[in-house]
Amino acid sequence: MPPRALRGSADRLGEVLPALLFHDAVYDPTRADNEVYDDFERQIREEYAAVPESPFRAGRRAVLESFLTRSAIYRTPELRSRRESLARANLSRAIRGLT
């Protein structure tokens, strides 16, 4: 989604825009073979490598479940309509992997 399309949707576009631009620099969101979320989860585990497996899984599961309890993950209508269902599917899959 071009940044100008978000101009009327984001309350603080100056803070949102760098995140959007950097995010797109990491992967191509139009490709069907992205493993970006799985890679992200692996990176989270690496970041918390000092935490033993059982407490890590319980804590990570709690964080991910907290996202699913939100009425919306994305705050802008455009992103919500385009990405919400995939985000929820990724979160659910990651939670299943932690149980």
Q: Is the pLDDT of residue 5 over 70?
A: no
Cα–Cα distances (Å) from 87 to 6, 14, 36, 60, in that order, read 19, 24, 12, 16
Q: Checking phi first, is residue 65 left (phi over 0); if not, alpha (psi -120 to 50) or beta?
A: alpha
Its pTM surpasses 0.85: no
Q: Which pLDDT value is given to residue 39?
A: 84
pLDDT per residue as tens digits for the range 22-66: 554 555 556 655 567 888 888 899 999 999 999 999 999 999 999
